[in-house]
Copies of this chain bind each other. A is one copy, B any other.
Amino acid sequence: MTMPDNVAAAKAALAHLDIEQNENAIKSKSRDFFWYSPVLKARMDHLVADFVVSPRNEAEVIEVLRICYAHDVPVTTRGAGTGNYGQAMPMRGGCVMHLRHMTGVKEIAPGRVICEPGILLKDLDAACKADSGQEIRMFSSTWATATIGGFIAGGSGGVGSCTWGSLRDLGNIIRLRVVTMEEEPRVLEFRGEELARVSHAYGTNGIITEIEMPLAPAYDWVEMFVACEDFMDAARFAEELANEDGILIKLASVYEAPAPFDYFQRLKGHVTDKDTVIGLMVAPHSMDGFETFLGRRPQARVIYRSDDNDWARGPGPVFEYGWNHTTLRALKVDPSITYLQVRYGFPEHLNLVEKMRDEFSPEVLQHLEVLRENGKVMFAGLSLVKFTTEARLDEIVRIHEEAGAMIFNPHRYTLEEGGRQTVDDRQLAFKREADPKGLLNPGKMIAWDDPDFDFSEMYAYPKMTAAE
């Protein structure tokens, strides 16, 4: 692969920074988890950065952005590259800026932490727990491998969202410090309404260099699997538990039978192919309340408790069965599985779930995550889809939408198509200010590239590097 002159010049100007030399490493640092989607896999598999640079601090981030601006080189920021939707894929090559060195924790106080973006979620939690028995309110199920910056720029919520709602909800991010990509990059501090400019913007309009997040108390969560023979019993169990105001939970996931039997290897011998399974994290001081709740529901049986079990081989963290880890486990067993992200909004959530299940099971198996939205318990669906063709996948999406179940389509790489299919005006307006040349993670914001796009078909970024 030959490097265009401008890119080579930028790379040379940054030679005093930590630049990846290994070709294989450059390839692997150019990839994220886009391949969960057969649609994206068919389109993005060949993409690769021209070079990868890992700044050590904000000053070096500024330097990377200034130099790349001067040379018209695209910059795609990378936390750990666990994103789906191809968020961290360098569509036009250029520079991948990897934040793995920026892992500092600057301050921990009651209810809040200030840190750098590149710290892994698990390391951030460990620091908060060691300091004062605290932890972040919510984390992506990629807690062990993903960064807080990537979670904020690319994620939406996760383990903890059953209590605290989504990342975008007021109060779930306190402050972000952001560097722009201009001739002379500026450093800005965002709070309140301004947070929406850059959170979940895929790094298309500014690079987050410091983060202030709210904290919750860290408990030794009791992790459990509960089995039910009836799927709707399991869905109601999860919802009703989340509605118990006095029982503190951090996770309530529902996996429709036979997914647990077929895909959760470590549950073999503990479940049958008739069992729908509920994954739970309950605060230890809520276990008495939980057991009372459970005692009222003889249709549910606890098959695993992290604090008390005789399993020869433990299942590992229960949250690593939830959120998008469910898809991962299914994929490993059956590579034809992909997924959808569905919003089953209150108060129709249970009805909608039942309807979609009647319509599609087993082609689409329900995987629900309890989520709070506007104070109400509802479900995020990360349904397991047996993939056949793109046309059928689109049809499944359409039928969900027609029924009133909103889809955040993970088979698209743009912000709009993966979101609510409309331009986020705040993100667009800020991109005009902060990235006048359109070099930050190009190809991810349709509103920037093609304001008149009508969403009648999948967007194809015209400047995307062509496959060879």
Q: Which residue of B lies closest to A168 (CB)?
A: B246
- For A286, list chain B residues within 8 Å (CB): 111, 171, 214
> Once the chains are docked, how many angstroms separate the CA of A373 from the CA of B376?
11
By the criterion CB–CB under 8 Å, are A175 and B246 in contact?
no
Give A282 Cβ to nearest chain B Cβ, in Å: 9
Contact of A111 among B112, B284, B375 (CB under 8 A): B284
CA distance A132 to B133 in the complex (A): 9
Counting chain B CB atoms within 10 Å of each CB, which of A170, A172, A220 scores highest? A170
Taking a contact as CB atoms under 8 Å apart, the answer to whether A289 and B171 are in contact is: yes
* Min CB–CB distance A162 → chain B (angstroms): 10
Residue A169 interfacial (CB < 8 Å) = yes
A164 within 8 A of B: yes
In chain A between 186 and 219, which residues have their CB closer than 8 angstroms to a CB of chain B? 191-193, 214-217, 219
Is A423 part of the binding interface, using a Cβ–Cβ cutoff of 8 Å?
A: no
A244 proximity list for chain B (CB < 8 A): 165, 169-171, 375
A183 at the interface (CB under 8 A from B): no
Query: Which residues from B are CB-within-8-Å of A220?
Result: 110
Which of A171, A175, A244 has most B Cβ within 10 Å?
Answer: A171
- Which of A302-350 touch B at CB < 8 Å? none
Contact with B along A262-289 (1 / 0, CB 8 A): 0000000000000000000001111011
Interface check A372, CB cutoff 8 A: yes
B292 adjacent to A170 (CB under 8 Å) = yes
Q: Which of B214, B247, B290, B377 contacts A246 (CB 8 A)?
A: B214
Of the listed residues A193, A246, A290, the one surrounded by the most CB atoms of chain B closer than 10 A to its CB is A246
**Residue interface bits A367-396, CB-to-B below 8 A is 1, else 0:** 000001111110000000000000000000
Chain B nearest Cβ from A342, distance in angstroms: 19
Number of residues of chain A lying within 8 A (CB) of chain B: 50
Chain B nearest CB from A199 CB (Å) reads 12
Tell me whether A172 and B246 are in contact (CB under 8 A). yes
Judged by a CB distance under 8 angstroms, whether A145 is at the interface is: no
List chain B residues, Cβ under 8 A from A215. 285
Which residues of B have CB within 8 Å of A75? none
The answer on a CB contact under 8 Å between A170 and B111 is no
Contact of A375 among B164, B191, B376 (CB under 8 A): B376
Contacting residue for A288 out of B132, B175, B243, B373, CB 8 A: B175
Query: Is A179 engaged at the interface, CB distance under 8 Å to the other chain?
Result: no
Interface status of A147 (Cβ within 8 A of chain B): no
Cα distance A191–B111 in the bound complex, in angstroms = 31
- Cβ of A307 to closest chain B Cβ, rounded Å: 14
CB-CB under 8 A for A111 and B217, given A164-B245, A242-B375: yes
C-alpha gap A137/B170 in the complex (Å)? 22
The docked-state distance in angstroms from the alpha carbon of A375 to that of B247 is: 11
- Please name all residues of chain B whose beta carbon is closer than 8 Å to the beta carbon of A216 when the two chains form the complex: 217
Which residues on B sit within 8 Å (CB–CB) of A137? 246
Interface string of A95-122 (1 = CB under 8 A from B): 0000000000000011110000000000
The reply to whether A171 and B214 contact each other, CB–CB distance below 8 Å, is no
Q: Is B246 within 8 A of A169, CB to CB?
A: yes
- Chain B residue contacts of A248, Cβ below 8 A: 111, 171, 214
Docked complex: A154-175 residues within 8 A CB-CB of B: 163-166, 169-172, 174-175
**A288-B192 in contact (CB<8A):** yes
Residues of chain B within 8 A (CB-CB) of A288 are 171, 174-175, 191-192
Q: Does A462 contact B (CB under 8 A)?
A: no
Contact residues in B for A290 (Cβ distance below 8 Å)? 170-171
A293 is an interface residue with CB less than 8 A from chain B: yes
A214-B246, A244-B170 known; A111-B285 Cβ under 8 A: yes
Additional pairs, 17, CB under 8 Å, beyond known A165-B245, A171-B288, A175-B288: A110-B284, A137-B246, A170-B289, A170-B290, A170-B293, A171-B244, A171-B289, A171-B290, A193-B292, A214-B285, A214-B286, A215-B285, A216-B217, A242-B375, A243-B375, A245-B374, A375-B377
Please provide the 5 A-B residue pairs with the shortest distance between their CB atoms, ordered closest to farther: A171-B289, A243-B375, A165-B245, A171-B246, A111-B285
Q: Pull 21 A–B residue pairs with CB atoms less than 8 Å apart, ordered by A.
A: A110-B219, A110-B285, A111-B217, A111-B285, A137-B246, A165-B245, A166-B245, A170-B246, A170-B247, A171-B246, A171-B289, A172-B245, A174-B289, A191-B292, A192-B291, A192-B292, A192-B295, A214-B246, A245-B374, A375-B376, A376-B376
